[in-house]
A and B are shown apart, each in its own frame.
Chain A
Amino acid sequence: MILARAEQVSRRYGEVLALDRVDLTVRAGELVGLLGPNGAGKSTLINLLVGLRRPTAGRVELLGGDPRDPASRRQLGVTPQETGLPGTLRVGEVVDFVSAHFPDPVPRGELLDRFGLADQVRRQTGGLSGGQRRRLAVALAFVGRPRLVVLDEPTTGLDVEARHALWDAIRGFHADGGTVLLSSHYLEEVEALAQRVMVIGQGRVLADDSVAAIRGIVGVRRVSLVADDLPALPGVVATERVDGRVHLLTTDADQLVRDLVTAGVAFRDLEVRPTSLEEAFLAITADARPAPTPA
């Protein structure tokens, strides 16, 4: 059962091509992460899927219909951006307002309890802390007992504890059979929650696979060592220096080590490690950027 689908979808804003022939399928029960840097086209894709914008070309489908038809959105839950809550309304009023749109909403007390906001019910949303506002925004996605929840950067600006609390709520929903599409530029977040990742860069799908497979596809390794001077080395996708150590990211660690030896570099404390998704992601998007000029 496919809950959301985009087929060869493009979206243009004036001169800018924000999405370029993107395909996406979200099946029932999946937890899909949408990963990409700011401006990659994640929010545009989400806006098309929830019916806020029309694609310039291609087709989008939500819960078996056109997302711009209100009936298609009956089993959809969406999160407003944190800054968007009406500041003068009280927490309870905002929940009641959203509830009024659904046939069988979660009772207000139960929802606020689940997101740790029970004590804030009488407060105006403008007076909440950033974390509380964010939790309320995410809670609103669950009011209507949705089958599919679309979360656009749900934990942006949260501290670690609040982020983990929200993750638990999202995992709980998924464990009960819910389907989630989640965008993030926190790789840690996608790694912690998603089973499948779709990487977007400059409006195109760069990869769409399991978290493990994405790491495998790129096979980026981190080669770190201590050395004063390094010549230009082929196959290095990123270089950073931290606390006197040089970290080189490469798709072919064996070749890099051979090159280091052949070049006669005086290095010590060599380490080769697999990378985090973040580093893999860096490597994929590097291909989409203009090639760096050789040093």
Chain B
Amino acid sequence: MPLALVHARYQLLEIIRIPVAVVGSAFFPAAAMLFFVVPFAGDDPTGATYATAAMVTFATMSANIFQYGVGVAEDRDQPWNPYTRTLPAGPAPRLAGRILAGLVLTYLSMVPVVVIAAVATAARVTVAQFLIGLAAVAVISVPFTLLGLAIGYSLPSKAAIVVAQVLFFPLAFGGGLLSAPDQAPGFVRAVAPYLPTRGAVELMWAAVTDWRPDPRALVMLVVWVVALAAVAGWAYRRDEGRRFR
């Protein structure tokens, strides 16, 4: 078995032995779905589909930011982490394993959203749209994975939890994930294109509906990916485990 898969397997084993951790990232988007989408947009096929895609983006974002931001920071606190860095393997298999495990959990965390959408709303997609949507989830995971890694490798775990929590709501709201595409409040419309969440949700909408994404938001998404990759890479290289002064 390649080392990346070995690392992914043990990451998942550790998480699955504490199942509440998986429930955590699935809960918020599922609750938002039940409280906001089902009562207000549930009967309108178009509105419900857009709202579901937005909640899937929300779930992707929160699963990734928390998993990598908090998960990496907590791992760095554990003496096991420096031990694994003495094993004869570079950072690549560990990082690849982490990202594979992260992707599995991201898909798991959106199962409730998709089930609620299918059962309790009029949201509908074709099989092709569903498959493109699945692929789109992997694509939009990229900026949030990088954001999580940047947080996790640059902050101690207690700070990482706070930063992840402080970031994720404004990103969701400001990016227009909690409002229909053309009904967002004015200031959200003004800032949204410059947030990574907007580009991500535009891609999701384009994948599962006939939405034409805003090019400005997509360009900004690419800018975000490049910038976050640079920060995450820098934070990883300067990391030598937790430092005490």
Instruction: Assess A52 versus B85: contact at CB under 8 Å? Given A13-B245, A84-B80, A100-B1.
Output: yes
- Tell me the residues in window 62-103 of chain A with beta carbons closer than 8 Å to chain B beta carbons: 70-71, 73-74, 76, 78-81, 83-86, 88-89, 93, 97-98, 100-102
Which one of B13-21, B24-32, B47-55 is at the interface? B13-21
A50 to B85 CA separation, bound complex (whole angstroms): 9
- What are the residues of chain B within 8 A of A15 when measuring CB–CB? 245
Query: Of B13, B79, B241, B244, which is within 8 A of A89 by CB?
Result: B13
Given contacts A52-B241, A97-B6, contact A89 B86 (CB under 8 A): no
In the complex, A84→B6 CA distance in Å? Answer: 19
Chain B residue numbers with a CB within 8 Å of A81 are: 79, 83
Q: How far is B53's CA from A17's CA once the two chains are assembled, in angstroms?
A: 54
A53 at the interface (CB under 8 A from B): yes
> B87, B244, B245: which contacts A73 (Cβ < 8 A)?
B87
Most buried by A among B10, B83, B244: B83
Q: Which residues of A contact B18 (CB under 8 A)?
A: 88
- The one of B6, B10, B86 that contacts A52, using a Cβ cutoff of 8 Å: B86
Q: Which B residues are in CB contact (< 8 Å) with A89?
A: 10, 13-14, 17
Is B43 an interface residue when CB atoms closer than 8 A count as contact? no
Q: How far is the CB of B233 from the nearest CB of chain A, in Å?
A: 16
Contact at B240–A93, with CB atoms within 8 Å? no
* A71→B10 contact, CB < 8 A: no
With A81-B79, A83-B79, A84-B79 already in contact, the answer to whether A100 and B3 are too (CB < 8 A) is yes
- Which residue of the partner chain A has the closest CB to B81? A84
| B interface footprint on A210-238 (CB within 8 Å = 1, 0 otherwise) | 00000000000000000000000000000
Chain B proximity of A122: nearest CB distance (Å): 13
A50 to B88, CA, bound (A): 10
Least CB distance from B20 to A in Å reads: 12
Flag if B88 contacts A71 (CB, 8 Å).
yes
For residue A171, CB closer than 8 A to chain B, the reply is no
Chain A residues near B17 (CB, 8 Å)?
A: 88-89, 124
A179 to chain B: closest CB distance in Å? 16
CB distance from B6 to the nearest CB of A (A): 4
Contact: B14 with A76, CB < 8 Å? no
Chain A residues near B85: list those with CB within 8 A. Answer: 51-52
Q: A84–B3 contact, CB under 8 A?
A: no
In the complex, whether A174 has a CB less than 8 A from a CB of chain B is: no
Q: Does A1 contact B (CB under 8 A)?
A: no
Residue among B3, B10, B85, B87 with max Cβ neighbours from chain A (10 Å): B87
User: Is residue A108 contacting chain B, with contact meaning CB distance below 8 A?
Assistant: no
- B17 vs chain A, min Cβ distance (A): 4
**B82 adjacent to chain A (CB < 8 Å):** yes
The residues in A between 1 and 60 inclusive whose CB is less than 8 angstroms from any CB of B are 13-16, 47, 50-54
Once the chains are docked, how many angstroms separate the CA of A85 from the CA of B79?
8
Contacts of A140 in B (CB 8 A): 83
Q: Looking across the interface, which residue of chain A has its beta carbon closest to that of B83? A: A80
Residues of chain B with a CB closer than 8 A to A73's CB: 86-88
- B83-134 contacts to A (CB < 8 Å): 83, 85-90
In the complex, chain B residues 55-74 whose Cβ is within 8 Å of any chain A Cβ? none
Chain A residues contacting B244 (CB-CB under 8 Å) are 13
Given A81-B79, A85-B80: A100 touches B86 (CB 8 Å cut-off): no
A102 touches B88 (CB 8 A): yes
Contact A54 B240 (CB under 8 A): yes
Q: Is B243 an interface residue (CB 8 A)?
A: yes
| Residue numbers in B under 8 Å from A14 (CB-CB) | 245
| Neighbouring B residues of A84 by C-beta, 8 Å | 78-83
With contacts A16-B245, A88-B17 taken as known, whether A101 is within 8 angstroms of B3 at the C-beta atoms is yes
CB neighbours (8 Å) of B13 from chain A are 88-89, 93
Complex: how many Å from CA A17 to CA B89? 30
17 pairs, CB–CB < 8 Å, chain A vs chain B: A16-B245, A50-B86, A51-B85, A70-B87, A70-B89, A76-B88, A80-B79, A80-B83, A83-B79, A85-B80, A86-B78, A86-B80, A88-B17, A89-B10, A100-B6, A101-B87, A102-B88
**New A-B pairs, 11, CB < 8 Å, besides A51-B86, A84-B83:** A13-B243, A13-B244, A15-B245, A52-B85, A70-B88, A70-B89, A76-B86, A81-B79, A81-B83, A93-B13, A97-B10
- 3 smallest A-B Cβ distances: which pairs? A84-B79, A80-B83, A88-B17
